Amino acid sequence: MKIILNNRNETIDREQVTVNELLAIKNFTWKLLVIKVNGILVQHKDYDSKTITEGDDVSVFHLVTGG
């Protein structure tokens, strides 16, 4: 399937993936992430159930803390 991930065209070798599967495929391992699919915030508790399909626009933001 083809998706947009962080404003880049990406091809994933599956028809659909969950948010957690996408994070594993793309090796996003940061602790503090904010994820939007088609502009809608995905809560952490929904990472295993929210599916990403052909044409979806996915944004993954890494939160940085500090002082």
CATH number at residue 48: 3.10.20.30
Would 23 be classed as within a structural domain? yes
Does residue 58 lie in a domain region?
A: yes
pLDDT digits (tens, 9 = 90+) for 2-53: 999 999 999 999 999 999 999 999 999 888 999 999 999 999 999 999 999 9
Residue 52 covered by a domain: yes
- Count of the separate structural domains present in the chain: 1
Domain that holds residue 18: 2-62
Task: State the DSSP string of 4-56.
Answer: EETTEEEE-SSSEEEHHHHHHHTT---SSEEEEETTEEE-GGGTTT-EEETT-
Q: What is the pTM of this model?
A: 0.90
